[in-house]
Amino acid sequence: MGIRWKGKGAEAKALADPMSKIVSQLKCSLIEYDSRGLLSGFSVLIEANEEQTGLFNRTCFGRRNITTEKDKQWFQLSMEEAFYLSYMLKCIKVVGEDNCPTNDDELWKYAISKRNNFPNLFKAYSHLRMKNWVVRAGSQYGVDFVAYPHHPTLVHSEYAVLILSVEDDNSNGRLRVWLDFHCTLRLCGSVAKTLLVLHIDKNCSAATSPSCLESCLVEERTVTRWNPEQSRENQTTVQKEPSN
């Protein structure tokens, strides 16, 4: 469908301020202040100063929690976002209920205990984030994630992302029959998004630690409805001969 920018000048703003640059600034700031997040169910709460608040907003990591404090704000990170910042970018530490930092293996096992398909979700999330896509929850569209080329204030989301696993034999039951494809594609079409299916192949590696991510493969497939108008060799309209 192509990138749909929001308003005049949105594309220029995005090009002048690439997402990779903003994420790098956030990473440096979090490392400088030795930032720590607090486990809270299946999310992580992290305190942010004024500079970090702006960077969190610009990179679309987490959701801001409104507080009465002027100098400090709190952001609620999803488990995928928190683990990405902790494991992939190495810029935050996550603290458990005992107020002690958790290592990568402990946080990984905790996440799986809360949601057994976390390895697939995180692999898909990190796969897109490493390509500088802005990744947000997609539950309102019936998918796992939605992917934006840049900040949502500048551009509409381009992809509705579904995650399927080879080893789990598509245990979530989605897209098993053609009716599922048609329903999902119609929904994506109605909101002007392309369906992106990510097939996660763990290569038979047990997901007991985050090191299994190195052997995981991600296969990308975009699925669109067939448009007969785009498949004709001759686009001219056939004129009927007038009857005598």
Catalytic residue among 84, 87, 125, 148: 148
Which amino acid would we find at residue 42? F
What is the spatial distance between Cα 22 and Cα 28, in angstroms, rounded to a whole number? 10
List all residues 6 or more positions away from 127 whose beta carbon is below 8 Å from its beta carbon. 198, 218
Based on the residue annotation, tell me whether 148 is a catalytic residue of this protein. Answer: yes
* Neighbour tally for 131: CB within 10 Å: 11
Calculate the CA dihedral of residues 90, 91, 97, 103 and round it to 10 degrees: 20
193 as an active site residue: the answer is yes
Please count the other Cβ atoms lying within 10 Å of the Cβ belonging to residue 145.
24
Are the beta carbons of 210 and 86 closer than 8 angstroms? no
* Residue in 123, 150, 193, 202 annotated catalytic: 193
Q: Is 90 a catalytic residue?
A: no
Active-site option among 6, 13, 93, 156: 156
By DSSP bridging, strand 159-165 and strand 93-95 are: unpaired
- Residue 10: CB partners within 8 Å, gap ≥ 6? 154, 155
The bridge status of strand 73-78 relative to strand 63-65 is: antiparallel
Active site residues: 148, 156, 193
